[in-house]
């Protein structure tokens, strides 16, 4: 990543972080709920989704202030989904970004309720900060996204003991491989791409883009989400955990490490091409975000 991109990313990330800080300042108390919410939001990492929302808006000619609280709402949706993902009954992860997961610190029951609370708060922020016409459309998109997140999580849970996956590990059937990749793409589009789609839908709605223009942006966001997840599997892969990786349903275990690298490179090229076709001028920062999704280190 070049210095210009990093400076711009830091600008948008800092602005996103300020929205979180102000939100936490307005919800500061000694209650377990506020403490747990603060704990979850204070580990928000790179804030990729709010940054994507702001950068799409700016590329479309929309000032970041005109997005109101919607980028913060998207981050609340994202963090709420992570809180739920980490639960013992789902992914059973004890750590998130180098810190103990919320359920390890505050208990499983609190974590379930905090995830639900963050979803509700996201809806509330959009409803309060926008005019009724825009907020109604964005709330409809957000509701669909949260439904997709849950659908994807259920598909993920129920696929973990897949008879087809076990059969594929034994036979190496090309037909089974294609079916597994199709199913995995569906899961990741629902779990990961859906929030990226919301990131582009908000500016699209506020700018009143045509259906054709909006669909092109959604197609870009869908593929960016897939690239993000494929890169995540590559990031997780190492010689130390290769044996466990081979037993999980992911791109590495289905396509091999080399096959997954090729898929990531293909997605990187196609997603970059989609961006160039969307904007008449070279969308340098957005192309940098695609590159970041492909080559991120964490």
Query: Domain of 32: which CATH number?
Result: 1.10.600.10
Torsion angle of the four alpha carbons 97, 100, 102, 106, in this order, in degrees rounded to the nearest 10: -160
Place of tokens 């969307």: 278
Q: For residue 103, give the 3-state DSSP assignment.
A: helix
Gap between the Cα atoms of 5 and 292, Å rounded: 10
Q: What pLDDT does residue 44 have? A: 62
Query: What pTM was computed for the model?
Result: 0.93
Mind listing the pLDDT tens digit of every residue in the chain (298 residues)? 788 999 999 999 999 999 999 999 998 898 999 999 999 998 768 999 999 999 999 999 999 999 999 999 999 999 999 999 999 999 899 998 889 999 999 999 999 999 999 999 999 999 888 778 889 999 999 999 999 999 999 999 888 777 888 887 778 788 889 999 999 999 999 999 999 999 999 999 999 999 999 999 999 999 999 999 999 999 988 644 554 455 678 999 999 999 999 999 999 999 999 999 999 888 999 999 999 999 987 6
Torsion angle of the four alpha carbons 66, 72, 75, 79, in this order, in degrees rounded to the nearest 10: -170
Cα 163 to Cα 34, 159, 249, distances in angstroms = 43, 9, 11
Give me the domain span that covers residue 41: 3-295
Tens-digit pLDDT profile for residues 10-25 = 999 999 999 999 999 9
Overall number of domains in the chain: 1
CB 141 within 8 A of CB 196: no
Burial letters 15-29, b for 16+ CB under 10 A, else e: bbbebbeebeeeeee
Secondary structure element (H or E) that encloses residue 114, with its range: helix 108-129
DSSP designation for 95: E
Tokens of 269: 């090229």
Gap between the Cα atoms of 114 and 124, Å rounded: 15
DSSP designation for 99: E
Gap between the Cα atoms of 185 and 189, Å rounded: 6
């Amino acid at each position: 990543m070049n210095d210009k991109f990093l400076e711009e990313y830091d600008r948008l990330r800092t602005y996103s972080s300020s929205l979180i800080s102000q939100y936490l300042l307005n919800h500061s108390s000694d209650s377990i709920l506020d403490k747990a919410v603060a704990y979850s939001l204070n580990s928000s990492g790179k804030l990729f989704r709010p940054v994507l929302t702001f950068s799409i808006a700016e590329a479309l000619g929309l000032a970041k202030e005109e997005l109101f609280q919607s980028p913060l709402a998207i981050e609340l949706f994202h963090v709420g989904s992570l809180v739920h993902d980490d639960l013992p009954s789902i992914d059973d992860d004890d750590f998130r970004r180098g810190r103990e997961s919320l359920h390890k610190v505050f208990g499983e029951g609190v974590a379930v309720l905090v995830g639900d609370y963050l979803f509700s708060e996201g809806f509330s922020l959009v409803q309060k900060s926008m005019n009724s016409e825009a907020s109604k459309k964005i709330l409809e998109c957000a509701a669909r996204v949260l439904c997709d997140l849950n659908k994807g999580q259920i598909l993920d849970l129920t696929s973990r003991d897949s008879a087809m996956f076990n059969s594929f590990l034994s036979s190496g059937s090309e037909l089974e491989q294609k079916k597994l990749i199709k199913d995995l793409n569906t899961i990741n589009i629902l779990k990961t791409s859906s929030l990226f789609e919301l990131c582009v839908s908000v500016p699209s709605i506020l700018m009143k883009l045509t259906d054709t223009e909006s669909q092109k942006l959604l197609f870009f966001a869908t593929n960016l989400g897939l690239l993000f997840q494929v890169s995540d599997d590559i990031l997780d892969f190492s010689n130390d955990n290769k044996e466990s990786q081979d037993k999980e349903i992911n791109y590495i275990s289905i396509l091999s490490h080399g096959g997954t690298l090729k898929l990531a490179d293909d997605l990187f090229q196609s997603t970059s091409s989609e961006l160039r076709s969307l904007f008449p001028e070279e969308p340098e920062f957005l192309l940098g975000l695609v590159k970041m999704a492909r080559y991120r280190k964490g």
